[in-house]
Amino acid sequence: MTTRPFDLIVFDCDGVLVDSERLSIRLDAILLERLGWPMAESEIVERFVGRTEGAMRAEIEAHVGRDVGAEWEAFSDEYIRLFAAELEPVDGVVGVLDAVAASGMAMCVASSGDHPKIRRNLVKTGLLDWFEGRIFSGDDVVDGKPAPDLFLHAAAAMGAEPARCAVVEDSRHGVAAARAAGMRAFGYAGGVTPAAALEGPRTTVFRDMAALPGLLGIEADSRR
């Protein structure tokens, strides 16, 4: 028997560890307009936040009726430059990582981004050391979020039962994937996704990252 509330804490990356979603959405809106599908930021959040790049591109191509590879590749450098200049950790998340580490619970990253993007963002924000060797990407599975495959893959690789896993997510697709995997979801509503879009069974919605350790049943590290 164990007194730990969970054996594994699975963190999404964008919007949970690194404050990237606002930056991405700013550029997504510009790209979509150039591609001929102008979209409000609220709809971008609803449709695309939490999904893989491949899924987003496929939906855009289906809508505009053509391949957008050339424009997509040309614009990808804009994201890299913006993140290099402005990306920061989510406020309060370092204290959360300290608290989880001190609790003895394992943790990993499971993000829809590809491996180079995840590593680049974690390096930029100083968070890579927390997750080296425990990074899982949407590219590792056939079906990305909201399918449960990525979280189930991460749990299996980490040797954890799904029922003993908690997932920290900030998108409706992410919390849906956690629920489908049979894991407990913690929906962070301090970012771009409205709290109502995160609510559902086996899901705790919170707005202040500093509150997460208490919700996970552990104490926060007051040093951070």
CATH of the domain at 40: 1.10.150
Q: Are residues 80 and 95 in the same domain?
A: no
Looking at the DSSP bridge assignments, the partners of residue 167 are 10, 185
Report the pLDDT value the prediction gives residue 51, as an integer from 0 to 100.
87
The residues assigned a catalytic role are 12, 14
What is the pLDDT averaged over residues 16-40? 92
What is the pLDDT averaged over residues 58-62? 94
Residues 84-121 have pLDDT tens digits of 999 999 999 999 999 999 999 999 999 999 999 999 99
Kindly state the tokens that stand for 134: 């425990």
Give the predicted TM-score (pTM) of the model. Answer: 0.89
Report the pLDDT value the prediction gives residue 220, as an integer from 0 to 100.
54
Coil, strand or helix at 88: coil
Q: Are residues 143 and 170 in the same domain?
A: yes
Domain termination site, one of 50, 65, 86: 86
CA distances to 9, 51, 87, 120, 140 from 127, rounded to whole Å, are 15, 22, 12, 10, 21
Q: Are residues 164 and 101 in the same domain?
A: yes
Report the pLDDT value the prediction gives residue 4, as an integer from 0 to 100.
82
User: What secondary structure letter does DSSP report for 169?
Assistant: E
Q: Are residues 210 and 118 in the same domain?
A: yes
Q: Are residues 59 and 116 in the same domain?
A: no
Q: Which bin fits 214, alpha (ψ -120 to 50), beta or left (φ > 0)?
A: alpha
Q: Is residue 67 part of a domain?
A: yes
| pLDDT band (50, 70, 90) for residue 147 | very high
Kindly state the tokens that stand for 135: 């990074």
Question: Could you list the residue range(s) of the whole structural domain that residue 75 is in?
Answer: 21-86
- Residue in this structure with the two tokens 């956690």, named with its chain if needed: 178
Q: Are residues 118 and 180 in the same domain?
A: yes
Residues 184-224 have pLDDT tens digits of 999 999 999 999 999 999 999 999 999 999 999 997 544 34
Q: Is residue 221 part of a domain?
A: no
Q: Are residues 103 and 158 in the same domain?
A: yes
Report the pLDDT value the prediction gives residue 1, as an integer from 0 to 100.
40
Report the pLDDT value the prediction gives residue 140, as an integer from 0 to 100.
97
Domain termination site, one of 38, 60, 86: 86
Report the pLDDT value the prediction gives residue 224, as an integer from 0 to 100.
42
> Which CATH number characterizes residue 177's domain?
3.40.50.1000
Report the pLDDT value the prediction gives residue 222, as an integer from 0 to 100.
40
Number of domains in the chain: 2
**Nearest-angstrom CA–CA distance, 196 and 33:** 28
Q: Are residues 175 and 200 in the same domain?
A: yes
Q: Is residue 1 part of a domain?
A: no
Domain termination site, one of 86, 102, 125: 86
- Edge-to-edge strands of the sheet including 135-137? 135-137, 106-111, 8-11, 165-169, 184-188, 203-206
Q: Is residue 47 part of a domain?
A: yes
Report the pLDDT value the prediction gives residue 54, as an integer from 0 to 100.
87
Q: Are residues 61 and 121 in the same domain?
A: no
More confident residue, 53 or 137: 137
Q: Are residues 37 and 117 in the same domain?
A: no
Q: Is residue 224 part of a domain?
A: no
| pLDDT band (50, 70, 90) for residue 50 | confident
Sorted by sequence, the CB contacts under 8 Å of residue 185 that are 6+ apart come out as 166, 167, 169, 174, 175, 178, 179, 198, 200, 202, 203, 204
Q: Are residues 42 and 60 in the same domain?
A: yes
Q: Are residues 160 and 144 in the same domain?
A: yes
